[in-house]
Amino acid sequence: MGFLSKLFGKKDKPPRPSAPVAHTWHVTSVTRETPSSISFEVDATMDFKPGQFVLLRPNTELPWRAYSFSRAPGRPLRLTVKRVPDGVVSTYLTTQLKVGDALEVKGPYGQFVLPAVVQRALFIAGGSGITPFLSILQQFEAANWPVPVTLLDFNRAQPEQILRAELDALVASSGGKLELVHVLDDAGGPCSAAVLEKLLEGRPAPDLVGMCGPQPMMDLARDFTQQRYGGVTILEEKFSMSHDEGGSGASYSVEFVQGGKSQRFEVKDGEHVLAAARKQGVNLSAGCEMGACGVCRVRLLDGKIHVPDDACLSDGEKEDGYALVCVGTAKSNCRIEPAP
């Protein structure tokens, strides 16, 4: 087992929790980080790996959402939330959360966990996508910086830079091992292939690229790093994604079987199965809704559902007939049941 595996866990995907247990956490502090973001601490402990997240909901009226730990394990648990325009849960958390509030929490989840052996890392963060990197970098600091890291931290504007002072303190403690480049939309950014090319010019090639942020930035950064550093290991965590609401062309029938009953709904080609089920009043379990937690896993009794490679479903699970409905698209008529 390599040195980093002791810190971060093995390269294999973490074992899937068969039945996620819900915990109740109480908020012990709320700190405003920027005009649109807060951090909060809770009275609980949880065993997690740097880079992982939990699903939480502030009350049963609100949907579950995923939030990454913004601190390394072994310290008071902290999550950091940025409000997205018209966002149901992030608006609630950033405007109404207060000390003493109870939160329903499930987890930890996630495969945004460093592999056992890394020689040099490049991290690319967009907005609130900085949170899992803080957890990872604090773990590096605790281990006396075993790996050189370049972190590109993209933000719209200076007042919206999350936990900037904490990041700068990490740079100061790293003895040159952590190089941090803040990029603002109006000063060097926004993120594009040309901007990445310029920022990375003359810097040594990494063997690991970790990226976290909204989907458009991730798509761009993945294409760029794959081209520039062919064969590099890429770790991704999407904080937002474009759900294809419409779909087009062929339409398939999906039968959802549960407890001796069955319900049918139609899914268009390209449409996510979960979105189609919801529109037609069929209630399928879901958590992060971005292919990251596995809560929406179903077993295929018949038919085919395509799940993208970057979702948290292993090849073995695909071969055993499992699918994720939040990011999965039907490729034939299907029969599905909740995964055991």
Ligand X SMILES: Cc1cc2nc3c(=O)[nH]c(=O)nc-3n(C[C@H](O)[C@H](O)[C@H](O)COP(=O)(O)OP(=O)(O)OC[C@H]3O[C@@H](n4cnc5c(N)ncnc54)[C@H](O)[C@@H]3O)c2cc1C
Binding interface with ligand X (CB under 6 A):
53, 65-68, 80-82, 84, 86-91, 110, 128, 131, 214, 237-240, 288, 290, 292
User: Which of the choices ligand FES, ligand X, none does residue 87 contact, using the CB cut-off of 5 to 8 A by kind?
Assistant: ligand X
Residue nearest ligand X by beta-carbon distance: 87
Measured CA distances, 293 to 5, 54, 64, 116, 340 (Å): 22, 9, 11, 21, 15
- Residue among 111, 328, 72, 53 at smallest CA distance from 235: 111
Size of the site for ligand FES (CB under 6 A): 12
Burial of 79 (0-12, 13-18, 19+ CB in 10 A): buried
For position 287 contacting ligand FES by CB under 6 A, the verdict is yes
Distance CA 116, CA 221 (A): 23
User: Which of the choices ligand X, ligand FES, none does residue 57 contact, using the CB cut-off of 5 to 8 A by kind?
Assistant: none
Give me the phi and psi of 287, to 5 degrees please. Answer: -130, -95
User: Which of the choices ligand FES, ligand X, none does residue 296 contact, using the CB cut-off of 5 to 8 A by kind?
Assistant: ligand FES
Q: Return the number of the residue (60 or 227) whose C-beta is nearest ligand X.
A: 60
The one-character DSSP state at 158 is: G
For position 291 contacting ligand FES by CB under 6 A, the verdict is yes
Rg (CA), the chain: 20
User: Which of the choices ligand FES, ligand X, none does residue 50 contact, using the CB cut-off of 5 to 8 A by kind?
Assistant: none
Placement of tokens 């090319």 in the chain: 197
- Residue among 42, 20, 23, 28 at smallest CA distance from 104: 23
Q: Single out the segment in contact with ligand FES by CB under 6 A; choices: 26-34, 83-91, 156-164, 286-294.
A: 286-294
Rounded (10°) angle between helices 131-142 and 164-173: 30
Distance CA 340, CA 338 (A): 6
User: Which of the choices ligand X, ligand FES, none does residue 20 contact, using the CB cut-off of 5 to 8 A by kind?
Assistant: none
Tokens of 334: 């299907």
Among 33, 41, 289, 310, the residue binding ligand FES under the rule CB under 6 A is 289
Among 77, 273, 326, 334, the residue binding ligand FES under the rule CB under 6 A is 326
Q: Return the number of the residue (4 or 212) whose C-beta is nearest ligand FES.
A: 212
Q: Return the number of the residue (206 or 214) whose C-beta is nearest ligand X.
A: 214
Q: Return the number of the residue (2 or 87) whose C-beta is nearest ligand X.
A: 87
